[in-house]
Amino acid sequence: MNCIKRGWLYTTRKKGKSFLLFCILFLIAVFVLSALAIDKASSLAQDNLRKSLGGEFTIGYDYSEANPYLNVEAVDGSTIMYSTQQITPDLIEEISKIKGVQYCSAITETLTAFSTIDFFKGNIPIEEEFRNTTKILGVWKSEENKHFTSKQINLVEGRHITPQDKGKVILSKDLAVKNQIQVGDILKTDKGIDLEIVGLFQQNETESINEQVTSYDKIQNLMIADLATLIALENSPAIQGFNEMTVSISDPQSMQKIISTIKDIKTVDWKGFSIIENNENYDNATSSLQQISNLVSTFLVIIFIASVIILSLILTMWSRTRIHETGILLSVGIRKTSIISQYITEVLLIAVIAFFLSYFPATVVADQVGSYLQNAPEQIEISEDTEGLVDDNRNGTSDDVANTNITMPDLDIQVQSEEMVMLFILGIGIVVISAGISSISIMRLKPREILTKMS
């Protein structure tokens, strides 16, 4: 009679023990399966959130003494800082082709006077010479500029700025209506440079009444142009390329790999630039999900260890009541390995039934526990830079910061075949280890010692 048949006969004969063992294994299976389902749902939620948020890092001038290209000049009583090594369109083109890169928001800016344009007034008094000036933002591709990608502004007429453009500009529709101008019209700057209007944008928000802003910083007065236009307007070594570039990537976890690839570009001396990572949004948004994942992993380890201990103690106590049976089996020539296999088979026969029946209650438990864990942190507030504008030739910085509330994504908890397979693997491991431990005290004895204990 083989070990499987002996195990089946013992299990069906000892109904009380079998039922108690079934209850223990059923509870273990429910907890393990629930934890596995929650862990998988948490991992999927992290992946989805990571892909939806993305990540970004900024390449800009290194304003420290380590930058061999940094120049400091006094102009009209003020000090300006700029680097003679600047971000070129060719470098941006090369970076944009790297796998995982979504957008390259390269910028430079200057103030330009338009005597023929009636600008919107700010609420901060400015000097007379700046009253007819506005900020012109030089971009590589306006559709990849953070003003547009963050939905702060939307193109409503015309087209975007491209790297091949020269003498083109996009301005706000409000400013166009105020001055009765439209797409296709030519604007003349006070420096005598003509700019063709190729597009109009509509801002989604304007400054509040209480917000302090100059006229040239108002979003309605902003103009977006090509790099060639900025070079012509400034006509100085301070602007011969872009001074800052924000690189948006699809997966924050690939940031180090992408940065390493960028630093391998040999046509650039990276001593002149600094790279600043901005993974704060992703880290904040996924921190709660990561806590859930860590908690579930710890819970799984505790359940595994506790299950082995409890099951080992119970099986050890039962094995001591089977000394007579063990002695008889050994006396008729059955090997110890076959006897241990029988004990493991007895538990596995019950475990298989318990594991299958744990499917439905585990689904309910996992859903309830998952909801509790998810509702602990209601919302995650993150700050997202909508544009980092570095005024390299006027020694100033202008940052538009928008606060965004991101709700933690729902945990789609489902017990699927993958979790069931993992349950059987872990469950069989628990059973084999526990049955092996419980058999040590008997199997290490010789047949004569067993018979002595029986007498």
CB 150 within 8 A of CB 384: yes
CB 344 within 8 A of CB 434: no
| Nearby residues of 158 by Cβ (< 8 Å), 6 or more positions away | 170, 183, 197, 198, 199, 200
Look over the chain and give the mean of its residue pLDDT values, rounded to a whole number: 80
How many other C-beta atoms can be found within 10 angstroms of the C-beta atom of residue 68? 12
Bridge-partner residues for 388, per DSSP? 399
- φ/ψ of 326, rounded to 5, equals -65, -40
The 3-state DSSP class for residue 285 equals helix
Amino acid at 72: V
Alpha-carbon span 171 to 197, nearest angstrom: 7
Q: Say which DSSP state 39 is in.
A: H
Q: Two tokens at 127? A: 């000097």
| Nearby residues of 184 by Cβ (< 8 Å), 6 or more positions away | 196, 197
Residue 455 has pLDDT above 80, yes or no: no
Q: For the residues 410-424, what does the mean pLDDT come to?
A: 76
Q: Two tokens at 118? A: 């009636």
Q: For the residues 25-51, what does the mean pLDDT come to?
A: 79
Q: Report pLDDT digits (tens) over 171-219.
A: 999 999 999 999 999 999 999 999 999 999 999 887 766 778 888 889 9
Bridge-partner residues for 276, per DSSP? 58
Q: Which position has the higher pLDDT, 42 or 28?
A: 28
Q: Report pLDDT digits (tens) over 104-162.
A: 999 999 999 999 999 998 888 888 778 889 999 999 999 999 899 888 999 999 999 99
Which of the residue ranges 109-113, 152-156, 222-226, 378-382 would you say has the lowest mean pLDDT?
378-382
pLDDT score, position 179: 94
Q: For the residues 304-315, what does the mean pLDDT come to?
A: 84
Q: Two tokens at 93? A: 């083109």
Burial class (CB within 10 angstroms; exposed 0-12, middle 13-18, buried 19+) of 451 = middle
- Tallying the residues shown for the chain, one arrives at 455
Alpha-carbon span 101 to 250, nearest angstrom: 6
Alpha-carbon span 171 to 136, nearest angstrom: 9
Q: Report pLDDT digits (tens) over 84-100.
A: 889 999 999 999 999 98
Share of the chain above pLDDT 90, in %: 27
Residue 390 has pLDDT above 50, yes or no: no
CB 38 within 8 A of CB 440: no
| Nearby residues of 191 by Cβ (< 8 Å), 6 or more positions away | 112, 113, 233
Burial class (CB within 10 angstroms; exposed 0-12, middle 13-18, buried 19+) of 203 = middle
CB 430 within 8 A of CB 311: yes
Alpha-carbon span 430 to 435, nearest angstrom: 8
pLDDT score, position 318: 76
Dihedral angle at the C-alpha atoms of 305, 309, 314, 318, nearest 10 degrees?
110
pLDDT score, position 42: 74
Q: Two tokens at 62? A: 């290194």
Q: Report pLDDT digits (tens) over 39-59.
A: 777 777 777 777 777 788 999
Concatenating the DSSP letter of every residue in 162-227 gives: -TT-SSEEEEEHHHHHHHT--TT-EEE-TTS-EEEEEEEEEES----TTS---GGG-GGG-EEEEH
| Nearby residues of 366 by Cβ (< 8 Å), 6 or more positions away | 33, 34, 35, 37, 38, 413, 415
Q: Two tokens at 142? A: 């306006």
pLDDT score, position 397: 37
Alpha-carbon span 450 to 446, nearest angstrom: 6
